[in-house]
Structure 1
Amino acid sequence: MQARSIARELALLGMSQLSDKPGQLAHQDFQALLQAAVNTLTVEAKDTLETAADELKRGSSQLVDSDIKANDLDSGRSMVEQAITLTQAAINRLATALELPEFIQLTNQKEVRAFAQELLSNAAKYQADVDERLNTAMVAWQLKRLPRIDRDILRLAVVEIEYLGTPDRVAINEAVELAKRYSGEDGYRFINGVLRRVVSGEVAAPSAAKVPDAPIN
């Protein structure tokens, strides 16, 4: 797993802890936000395993019922198909759950934490400018009308492009991958379209400088 990809996902989860009001973004404890994101992943892993266990149990019951309660071949076949569907869903959930412990472990790497914090701090610092640019790019739509997760994915991508020097293609591809995991088909397609309008020059650049402040020696 790429360190920066992990950092982006960690930052996205941390973004959910940020206020949507720019005036309330100062003096955030970004390390605390990142730890909250890791805690969210830990809970997700537990819930995923519990859901998978329930699906396996229901699938097993369906197989038993298909043998005992089925009145004819068609109803028996239907019960077996339902059992297979439940079992497949459980397998998919288990695969996801097995990836999470490794992901959680990798979030503690210094490089991952540093980039995630950089994303969060710049997202907080430039949110007003980023939101203005996104609203312009969406033309007949408004950022505030989007699901929170979609807003945050868009914000992180624009922050990377405008303030952290990430190549447009990389930032857009990473945003699309995040949307596929946390949003949906309509979400990732919409996000892809908005970001392509942002980088195509169809909207004006934000008034703030496009590079982060130079460190103080």
Structure 2
Amino acid sequence: MQERKPRQIARELALLSLSQLPTNPKKLTEEQLPKLVLAAVRTLRSEVQDTLDNAAGELQRSNDRLLTSETRASDLGTARNMLKEAVTYTQAAINKLGAAIEFPELIQLANQDKEVAHYAIAIVRTVNENQTLIDAEISQALIDWQVNRLAQIDRDILRIAVTEMRFMGLDPRMAINEAVELAKRYSETDGHRFINGVLRRVTEQKQPVKSS
């Protein structure tokens, strides 16, 4: 597993934090921002437990199918099908465990590395304070679509990328690359291609704007 840098972890934390905001959020106070990020960390802990529980369930189903294939299969073909099902359940469990392994790293860094928390809070703050401008830029880059019709995860990934490149001084190419990586982890199968296309159009639109 490739080790991720603090700012990569911070982006994931910011993404999880933004997902907890209402559709039309009010301006957050400086006291609310850390609490929102803390809530995101708690959500991660719950996700880890749920993932492990699901993996345990898949393994139990695999074990049940193996036992059934040995004791109740009426012929070789039926036994083979049951074994295939057992392998499928086992693979599903392995995939879930693979996802769960990465979460503790994120939780630990979020709790112990000040840069992670500070950068995550800075992203959430900037998105919250400039959402109208950010969404306007995204809207201009969308073809026959509207920001409020995007899947929330894609919308928030786009917001984070535009925030970093327009307000936080991140090189646009780096912002796009980081957004694509986020999309590969959290969006649908082809979400990263969509994110890449929209952000490339954003960078072609105009020069960076300044926060009021």
TM score, norm. by length of structure 2: 0.92
The equivalences for 1:178-217 within 5 A come to 178-199=182-203, 201=204, 203-204=205-206, 208-209=209-210
Alignment CA distance shift 1:26-1:99 (3 Å)? closer
Q: CA deviation at 1:26?
A: 4.2
Structure 1: which amino acid aligns with 2:29?
H
Q: Answer whether contact 1:3 1:112 (CA < 8 A) is retained.
A: yes
Q: CA deviation at 1:27?
A: 2.6
What is the CA–CA distance in structure 2 between the aligned matches of 1:17 and 1:95, rounded to whole Å?
25
Q: CA deviation at 1:204?
A: 4.3
Aligned to 2:91: 88
Kindly provide the CA deviation profile for residues 39-87 of structure 1, in whole angstroms up to 9, marking residues without a partner as x.
0000000000100000000000011111222222222111111111111
Kindly provide the CA deviation profile for residues 100-152 of structure 1, in whole angstroms up to 9, marking residues without a partner as x.
22220111210101110111111111110010110110031111111111110
Q: Answer whether contact 2:28 2:125 (CA < 8 A) is retained.
A: no
What is the CA–CA distance in structure 1 between the aligned matches of 2:138 and 2:54, rounded to whole Å?
37
The worse-fitting range, judged by mean Cα deviation, of 41-50 and 102-111 is 102-111
Q: What fraction of aligned residue pairs are identical, expressed as a percent?
A: 49
What is the CA–CA distance in structure 2 between the aligned matches of 1:55 and 1:65, rounded to whole Å?
15
Q: Answer whether contact 1:62 1:79 (CA < 8 A) is retained.
A: yes
What is the CA–CA distance in structure 1 between the aligned matches of 2:68 and 2:28, rounded to whole Å?
59
Aligned to 1:45: 48
Question: How many residue pairs align between the two structures?
Answer: 207
Q: Answer whether contact 1:133 1:205 (CA < 8 A) is retained.
A: no
Q: Answer whether contact 1:49 1:97 (CA < 8 A) is retained.
A: yes
Structure 1 spans left out of the alignment, 5+ residues: none
Aligned to 1:99: 102
Aligned to 1:27: 29
Q: Answer whether contact 1:7 1:115 (CA < 8 A) is retained.
A: yes
Q: Answer whether contact 2:11 2:120 (CA < 8 A) is retained.
A: yes
Tell whether 2:122 aligns with 1:121: no
TM score, norm. by length of structure 1: 0.90
Alignment CA distance shift 1:193-1:40 (3 Å)? same
CA RMSD across the alignment: 1.7
Structure 2 spans left out of the alignment, 5+ residues: none
What is the CA–CA distance in structure 2 between the aligned matches of 1:132 and 1:71, rounded to whole Å?
64
1:149 to 128, 153, 170: 153
Kindly provide the CA deviation profile for residues 135-181 of structure 1, in whole angstroms up to 9, marking residues without a partner as x.
11003111111111111010000001111111122111111111122
What is the CA–CA distance in structure 1 between the aligned matches of 2:141 and 2:185, rounded to whole Å?
23
